[in-house]
Amino acid sequence: MSEDKINRRKYLKYAGAAVAVGAIAAAGYGISQYSQQPAPTTTTPGPTTPTTGKKKLKIGTTKPLTGAEAILGRNELNGTLLWEKMVNEAGGIKAGDGNTYEVEMVYYNDENLPENVGRFFEKLIVEDKVNYLFGPIYGPLGMATVPVVMRYEQLEFYGTASYDPNQWQDEFGEYVVHVCTNGNAYLRSMMDMIMDYIVPELDPDAKNIAIIHGDDIFRNTAGVGGMEYAKEKGVNVVVYEKYHTGATDLSPILSKIKAAKPDVTILLTGGAYQDAILITKQLKELDINLKLFFPGTGTVTHEWYDAVQPYGDYVLTITQWEPGVKYPVNYGPSHDEYISRYTQEYGQEPEYASAIGYTQGLALQMAMEKCPDPLNPRALRETVRKEVEFIGFYGHFKTDEHGIQIGHKVVVMQWQNGKKMCVWPPQVANSELLYPMPKWSER
């Protein structure tokens, strides 16, 4: 594609979106609330010593390795670097062109700034001569890469970066491949659990639910996507409300839920960390006794659980992946092997961003193995579109024609005695759903 095809208007569209998407668009988990400090790191790893007879595959990326979001950036990068190490230990990638490729990662600290991401991505392509790119964290940072990869006709594998696929797929589906579940599908697994399990087996009234969500792009995408899927599943949405992101009092909306007829049994929220704390506390203060609720993606963190004690148990959360969620792996390391190697390498268990970082590598690896022209971005993109599908320790990988992830589903967890237990889908559940949750006065 010639440079003049990316005109100023389109560039500003993507650059502006990079700022507007919101700082929680990647996974919505409020990672800035973590207080753990990242391990010291160099900006770029030392070059891997070439092995005779092998070609070099250079992959570039940026992550925030300092600042408030360094935990997520470091964790995702750690997963990718572990993949690099393990694939090179195994002899490299045996590609479809008959050559074997040794992987070399090149990465920079983007400091969680969209303007840095665009600058570094151009440097990776023009100066470092990388073959492929792995995306940064978060939707705003991911969107900042779009004009660059389009301009240079490069192929990028997004990791934790997420956005509403309905907005963007037609324009850059040729240049971006997604690993994680996008925000518009975040509430789907809970809808499936309600209509496929709770309603037929536990409580027919569970189909009467409320959906509320914030008005920033991430929360709106999650909430609207949930509402659309509720209609498909036949869920009866008794209350549907949008609130201003950052609101410090949601009692007017929650009071509507309390007064609604028929009675609302389950509340699902398109929210993040602060929303999850506020909603949990105000449900208790207003004595709104639901049978189950999900107040936002921030519930995945131990910080949320500690902040709402002693009322954290029974509450639902969702996650892209957690240790203990085991899939029938047919490609890459097993669940136990991955966790063992990661813990050995970094001194702590992996979390979802680390798993996504590793899976970026697996997706590229399978595509290289199947593609007869593996260093041609367009040829590799076609291979991903038509031939790359597997079940790794992270779950099912499969994309649609636009590169949107359609194989992987978020899993539903429930806090039980201070631990997150997987309750849906049944293929990977390690605990029974505790339903209904007891009334506030009984806890």
Structure tokens at 277: 């704390």
pLDDT > 60? residue 301:
yes
Using DSSP bridges, classify how beta strands 132-134 and 55-63 pair: parallel, antiparallel or unpaired.
parallel
Quickly tell me which residue has 């925000």 as its tokens: 183
* 385 class by beta-carbon count within 10 Å (0-12 exposed, 13-18 middle, 19+ buried): middle
pLDDT band at 273 (very low <50, low <70, confident <90, very high): confident
Q: In the Cβ-directed half-sphere of 30, how many Cα atoms lie within 13 Å?
A: 21
Residue 267: strand, helix, or coil: strand
* CB distance 102 to 56 below 8 Å: yes
Q: Do 83 and 157 lie in a common domain? A: yes
**Rounded mean pLDDT, 404-428:** 96
Nearest-angstrom CA–CA distance, 78 and 82:
6
End-to-end CA distance of the chain: 62
* CB distance 40 to 111 below 8 Å: no
pLDDT, one tens digit per residue, over 29-81 is 332 222 233 333 334 443 334 444 799 999 999 999 998 888 889 999 999 99
SS (H, E, C) 392-434: ECCEEECECCCCCECCCCCEEEEEECCEEEEEECCCCCCCCCC
Q: Do 22 and 152 lie in a common domain? A: yes
Taking each helix axis from N to C terminus, what angle separates 139-151 and 165-172, rounded to the nearest 10 degrees? 20
pLDDT band at 139 (very low <50, low <70, confident <90, very high): confident
DSSP-assigned states of every residue in 358-388: HHHHHHHHHHHHH-SSTT-HHHHHHHHHHH-
**Cβ within 8 Å of residue 230, ≥6 positions away:** 187, 191, 209, 211, 237
Q: Do 74 and 219 lie in a common domain? A: no
pLDDT band at 372 (very low <50, low <70, confident <90, very high): very high
* CB distance 273 to 246 below 8 Å: no
pLDDT, one tens digit per residue, over 169-223 is 556 567 899 999 988 899 999 999 999 999 999 999 999 999 999 988 788 889 9
Residue 285 lies in a domain: yes
Residue 125 lies in a domain: yes
Phi/psi at 33 (nearest 5 deg)?
Answer: -75, -15
Q: Do 172 and 199 lie in a common domain? A: no
pLDDT band at 284 (very low <50, low <70, confident <90, very high): very high
Residue 402 lies in a domain: no
pLDDT, one tens digit per residue, over 153-171 is 999 999 998 766 666 655 6
What per-residue confidence (pLDDT) applies to 167? Answer: 64
Share of the chain above pLDDT 70, in %: 86
Q: Do 27 and 168 lie in a common domain? A: yes
Q: Do 127 and 81 lie in a common domain? A: yes
Residue 241 lies in a domain: yes
- List the one residue out of 191, 271, 202, 272 whose CA is nearest residue 232: 191
Q: Do 375 and 268 lie in a common domain? A: no
Lowest mean pLDDT of 134-143, 231-240, 392-401, name the range.
134-143
Cα 405 to chain centroid distance, Å, stands at 10
Nearest-angstrom CA–CA distance, 414 and 417:
10
pLDDT band at 416 (very low <50, low <70, confident <90, very high): very high
Q: Do 152 and 274 lie in a common domain? A: no
Q: Do 115 and 133 lie in a common domain? A: yes
- Between residues 167 and 413, the one the model is more confident about: 413
Residue 234 maps to which CATH number? 3.40.50.2300
What per-residue confidence (pLDDT) applies to 217? Answer: 78
pLDDT > 80? residue 430:
yes
What per-residue confidence (pLDDT) applies to 123? Answer: 98
Question: What strand order describes the sheet that includes 208-214?
Answer: 236-243, 208-214, 266-270, 292-294
CA angle 407, 387, 94 (to 5 degrees): 115
pLDDT, one tens digit per residue, over 8-34 is 334 334 444 443 333 333 333 332 222
What per-residue confidence (pLDDT) applies to 334? Answer: 98
H-state helical runs in 183-324: 188-193, 217-233, 251-259, 273-285, 302-307
Q: Do 151 and 289 lie in a common domain? A: no
CA distances (Å), origin 211, targets 80, 218, 247, 292: 36, 15, 17, 13
Residue 404 lies in a domain: no
**Rounded mean pLDDT, 252-256:** 97
- Between residues 15 and 106, the one the model is more confident about: 106
Quickly tell me which residue has 């961003």 as its tokens: 353
Residue 197 lies in a domain: yes
Q: Do 167 and 304 lie in a common domain? A: no
Residue 405 lies in a domain: no
pLDDT, one tens digit per residue, over 308-327 is 999 999 999 999 999 999 99
pTM: 0.83
User: Which range of residues forms the domain containing residue 386?
Assistant: 3-181+326-397
pLDDT > 90? residue 259:
yes
Mean pLDDT, the chain, as a whole number?
87
pLDDT band at 371 (very low <50, low <70, confident <90, very high): very high
Q: Do 194 and 265 lie in a common domain? A: yes
Residue 368 lies in a domain: yes
pLDDT band at 96 (very low <50, low <70, confident <90, very high): very high
Quickly tell me which residue has 């709402």 as its tokens: 308
For the chain, what is the domain count? 2
Count, residues in the chain: 443
